Structures are given as C-alpha cells and as structure tokens.
Amino acid sequence: MTAPKNDRPRKVVLAYSGGLDTSVILKWLQVEKGCEVVTFTADLGQGEELGPARAGAVKMGVPEDQIFIEDLREEFVKDYVFPMMRANARYEGDYLLGTAIARPLISKRLIAIARETGADAIAHGATGKGNDQVRFELSAFALNPDIKIIAPWREWDLTSRTRLIEYAEEHDIDVPKDKRGEAPFSTDANLLHTSSEGLVLEDPWEETPDYVYSRTANPWDAPDEPQDIVIGFEQGDGVSLDGKRLSPAALLEALNDLGRDHGIGRLDLVENRFVGMKSRGMYETPGGTIYAAAHRAIEQLTLDRGAAHLKDEMMPRYAELIYNGFWFSPEREMLQAAIDHSQAKVTGEVRCKLYKGGVHVTGRRADVNYDLYSKDVVTFEDDAGKYDQRDAEGFIKLNALRLRLLGRRPK
C-alpha cells in the first residue's frame, strides 16, 4: 500500500533502538522526509541500557514528550510468548519463533502511540530482504488499515555500512568504535531469545564462531553436575519454579539464567524466509527451550489422545502464521481459541534435569482432578479387572477388516 506522492507523511512514530541504524533513520526522516518524529523504544528484555536511546533522541531534537520508552516484558511473555507456547509452536520443526513473536507487540504499540500523538505514519528499520518488514507492516495494517508506513531500507541510497557511517558523520550522529568497519553479524534480542545472522554465518558449512554466542555457555564447558528443577503449570501456563510462584516474565528470566549456565537452547538453522530465500541463523533460546520441554511433558498427562494429536496437526500452520506475520489474522485467533480451550486442565508439575546443553524430563505429575494417566489400567501387574485384555481381539479384527479385504484382491 503506497501513499500518493502528494500525501506525504507529516508525523511519524519510529521504532527506535538508539543504535546506529535507527539513529540514522531518525535523522533521515527529519531531513529527507521533512517529518516530525516520535520515537518508541520497547524494553522486551533485550538486556540493553535504554537510557542512551532517550539521550540520542533528545540530541536529534525530539521533544521529551514525544519520546516513548516502555517496559513491555510482562505483556510480552503473558500475552504473546505464553499463548504461543501453549501451542508447542516451532517453525519448520525447530525454531521457537523468538524474533517473530515480538513483532506484533511492537507494531501494536507503534499504532497506539501514533493514535495518541496524532501521527499519520510509522517507520521501522527492517530491511527489504527479511521477514520483519512483513511482520511489522501486516500487524500495523491489521490494526490501522489507513496508516502510512515508511521503510527507509527500501527507499534510500545508504546501501552500505560505509555510506551509513558517512551519513551519520555528516549529521553529527555518534558512531561507536565497534560499528566502524564491516559488522561480523547482526543480532536481535528479547527476553525469549537472541538471533544472529549474516556475514560470518552466511556459509552454512562453516561452524558458528564462539564469539557469536551471547546468551549461553558452551555446553562442553557447562557444569559437570546436572541440576534438577521443577516447573509448575496452571491451565497451560507456567506459574512457578521450584515451588516459588513467579510472574510470566520473572519465570522466563529465571529459566534463562539456568539455561545460560547449562548451555541450553542453541539452534543452528537454515530456514525458509517468507520472502522466498533461505537464510542461516544462530538462535539462542535458553529459558524457552526448557519451558517448551516441560509444557509438552505436562500435556502428556492431561490431554486426551485425540486433542493432543489434533494440536500437533494444527501446530505447523499456527507456527507458520506467526513466522509470516499474521498474528492479528482471524485464522490465528481461531486456532488460538482451540488451543486455549485444550489447556483448561493442563495443570501440574514437571521435573527436568539440566545438563550440558540438554533438557531431560525426569518426572511429571498432574493435578489429581485432571490426570488421565491411570497406573491401575496400564500396569503389567494385576489390574483388578479394570481392563479386559480379551476385548483387544475384537478391536484388532475390526481395524483389520479393510486390510484383510484389500489383501484378498488379486495382486
């Protein structure tokens, strides 16, 4: 959706990190587009000091009341990460969607701030080759069909890091020493994960250098003694760690610390981007990897076979919708309603052993009211008549009927 040339944006809300790229974008919007700029910086648990973002915006003339810095960690985990985890979602069987799940929340706040400040446009720093441009913009249009969107990487001529730094220097934008020269890789982080892509990772045959990892210890250097933990669940969501109740964000943060120490959650992946190309990335999802294993384990006791298998059939479609940017689509919401319905009785505790990059489920127990596991029925010992093994003969014959009829046809 492209605005007519005579319908230039007047005021734009920029997703602003305070780093080199978005600082250049801020100045470019002011100078080249003639826009009044509002900045929005989200604290999603990326572990960075956000004070410099405010200072950088002020230095470039953004009024204090037009600088928005918000702590969204609890909302991020409660309303986005946990609903996704209820589905056991993994894109292409592996990726826990750490970057994708953060984009709809950022877009939601960009649109809300645009409404509050009277802005008629939003802007982001995603490139024209990646998935994030799609995710930001699909979410934005779903929430405000008439919003204008500015994506500088699809417009400007600052197509190299050298040109970006030159533009920064021309406009008195600070360029940190570590940003000079060619960056070895790019990263994105939030409370769920850190992703690293580009340059040193572009050859899928080359092993990821140690310096790329920022969230996890090397599994081989992790403690030689395993650690046991117990995660408590209520209605499909994690609520406690080792008996201590924690908020969603606090629980994920605590699991991140455990996962980091034990080298858990590294994923080297070649994935299919929505825009059509394959890309190789290194993802670190320490707490999320532990949480996902525990959630699936408590479902093993509390979900009926039919419901569990249907969820597994729905999961790839659900994960693909999130990956492709359709969080605010009716089909994702329909799937979410079914998934959430399945979680009403997913309550209990799971014990995991953490050891040198691995998460090993060693025990699970469900709330007695919701437990579908019957030791009396499954036992190899005397079941006191609760299961008549003779019934299996008729069951097998009925299921074999069509196979026997097929088998009698001439070969």
Residues that are catalytic: 21, 103, 132, 186
Rounded distance, CA 278 to CA 297, Å? 32
Provide the token pair at 342: 């399945």
Q: Are 274 and 134 in contact (CB under 8 A)?
A: yes
Q: Where are the alpha helices (DSSP H) in 303-350?
A: 305-324, 330-342
Residue 131 CA, distance from chain mean position? 13
Residues with Cβ within 8 Å of residue 55, at least 6 apart in sequence:
18
DSSP 164-198: HHHHHHHTT----GGGSS--S-EEEE-SS-EEEES
Smallest Cα–Cα separation from 191: which of 239, 97, 256, 135? 256
Rounded distance, CA 386 to CA 392, Å? 13
